[in-house]
Chain A
């Protein structure tokens, strides 16, 4: 696939910006529009754009592992975030646990955040696996 130098140069700068933006969306998701699902999609778009500009091989080198592994990792994080109140405090599954003092930038950290991080990883993993498989077979 031939790509213009404009796209190629732009994608190198856009990748970190989009990833940062996806993390921002992930973090604001608890009270405002956003969250793990949309954040994950934005992150996946960042990598897809990179692969359009630089070829699939370069993107895979950048990722260093098969995106498929993000799926069980994300599932495990989400699942464990629900399991922590059961295991540690004997509260029902998925009870929200929150820190008392807000952390700088992030605000109050709770188990819901880790659930969303899990969703984020699953979405990135699934989207990239699908797109990579399609473009490999095309």
Chain B
């Protein structure tokens, strides 16, 4: 029963997707079923996490083909944690979609595709085979193309073209990198590759392959010179779609970077230096980009880029403390970024716009909602004891002990600039005296909604805020978890043994 536990989250998502495809035009059924399915998914992921936490890394050789030849699925603590976070964010966005996405979009298969996207994310986290990782990335981007274009507004299509072009390019580079890697080693299993890459004498070729992976995943993660598609497209689709994109799609790129650079291309000074430089530039350029934006979703898009820098910096420093910081930040970031885009959706429904210049007076009119929205906003900044604060301690500590003072400077600069941006946003959107905006008769204002519809906006934001609060106030637990993940990543022999079945 528990032997196949790793694959249950995948089974569940594909099952939900198929059933929702059968109920193509029954929107009401789709809403209810999607939310119920997501609740079950959270339960299953908790079970998986609990199991991995107690019994260590688990593997499944799909099709019963032995390890380096068949496709392996591996659940180590990192994968199990990310699957759990995906299901929590998925539940929140599912509820939020039921409330906020327009009927015209739901009629064209929004929910089934949404669950196929979650399937792709879970698969990417759980696979132990680099080509299979590519396949899951394809499932993710095909679903995301549908989600970003569904509805077909003009601005949306414009954003989608940019999104599409650069993501296809990233996939091609990723595929090329896999081909080169296969040519070098004759293997695709990541655990097997770890040993074979280390044995190759032509280090130059290995480094170049590493850089190809860095570019491929870097485009998806939105790191410094390759992020232009992200702020150009994330503010165009429906808010629920931005939420799942902002929370999870760039993070799956970060996950792939972490996995590849801790398992396959390890301790290579050249690659680590490149990662550090990229991280610093990402932190600075993302922060400065966010400073000049007026649209709330564009601000958050640039902040995504800025904060990707923290994780890349942690990876670049490559000590156990730094990677623990990066993982902690990843955990915090998935929850809080998903929440921020839902927050901007809620603000949009309150006032009918997302332009910070026109917004204002929300605190005076809706003090309780404002207090709720305070949590994700200032968790992002990391006002102690909220959740963004703790991972930075790890990162800065690692930076000082490694002597990389420029990185520490960039981290502090980015934190400061985030504080400025969020404080300004708070002042502009919530505190400033609101001006009278033209009333739009056909717009679904929050005040006109029925109670259950309002709850579909409030509950997901509240849910993720509670998780954020837990990450902040229960930082000890998350720190313990991140330290264990970092230990597994740095000392990767356990992962390799478990996949190649060496210990039994």
Contact = CB atoms under 8 A, between A and B. Distances in A.
B11 interface: yes
B62 interface: yes
A79 B18 contact: yes
Contact of B15 (A68, A71, A79, A95): A79
B93 to A, nearest CB: 22
B62 A94 contact: yes
Interface centre among A72, A91, A92, A93 (most CB of B within 10 A): A92
B62 A92 contact: yes
A92 B70 CA distance: 11
A90 interface: yes
B227 interface: no
A83 B19 CA distance: 16
Contacts of B60: 92-93
B452 interface: no
A69 interface: yes
Nearest to A69: B22
A72 B18 contact: yes
Interface of B: 3-4, 7, 11, 14-15, 17-19, 21-22, 24, 60-64
A29 B263 CA distance: 37
Contacts of B24: 68
Interface of A: 68-69, 71-72, 75-76, 79, 83, 85-86, 90-96
B64 A91 contact: yes
A93 B11 CA distance: 10
A83 B24 CA distance: 24
A75 B4 CA distance: 21
A6 B325 CA distance: 73
B14 A79 contact: yes
A90 B5 CA distance: 11
B15 A93 contact: no
Contacts of B14: 75, 79
Nearest to A85: B64
Contacts, number: 39
Contacts of A68: 24
A75 B21 contact: yes
Contacts of B22: 69, 72
Q: When A and B form their complex, which 3 residue pairs have the shortest distance between CB atoms, in order from nearest?
A: A72-B21, A95-B64, A94-B63
B3 A90 contact: yes
Contacts of A79: 14-15, 18
Contacts of B17: 75
Nearest to B19: A72
A76 B17 CA distance: 10
B21 A92 contact: no
Nearest to B15: A79
Contact of B18 (A76, A86, A95): A76
A72 B60 CA distance: 26
Overall SS of chain B's interface: helix
Contacts of A90: 3-4
Given A83-B11, A86-B4, A92 B18 contact: no
A76 B23 CA distance: 14
A93 B21 contact: no
Contact of B7 (A71, A93, A95, A96): A93
A65 B21 CA distance: 15
Contact of A71 (B11, B21, B61): B21
Nearest to A96: B63
B229 to A, nearest CB: 27
Given A69-B22, A72-B22, A92 B11 contact: no
Nearest to B59: A92
A75 B18 contact: yes
Contacts of B61: 92
Given A68-B24, A86-B4, A93 B63 contact: yes
A92 B4 CA distance: 7
A70 to B, nearest CB: 10
18 contacts: A71-B21, A72-B22, A75-B18, A75-B21, A79-B15, A86-B4, A86-B7, A90-B3, A92-B4, A92-B60, A92-B61, A92-B62, A92-B63, A93-B60, A93-B63, A94-B62, A96-B63, A96-B64
A20 B335 CA distance: 53
Contacts of A86: 4, 7
A79 B116 CA distance: 13
A94 to B, nearest CB: 5
Contacts of A75: 14, 17-18, 21
Contacts of B18: 72, 75-76, 79
Nearest to B11: A83
Contacts of A94: 62-63
Contacts of B4: 86, 90, 92-93
A111 to B, nearest CB: 10
Given A79-B18, A93-B62, A93-B63, 17 more contacts: A69-B22, A72-B19, A72-B21, A72-B22, A76-B18, A83-B11, A90-B3, A90-B4, A91-B64, A92-B4, A92-B63, A92-B64, A93-B7, A93-B60, A94-B63, A96-B63, A96-B64
Nearest to A73: B22
Nearest to B116: A75
Contacts of B7: 86, 93
Contacts of B11: 83
A45 to B, nearest CB: 24
Nearest to A76: B18
Contacts of A71: 21
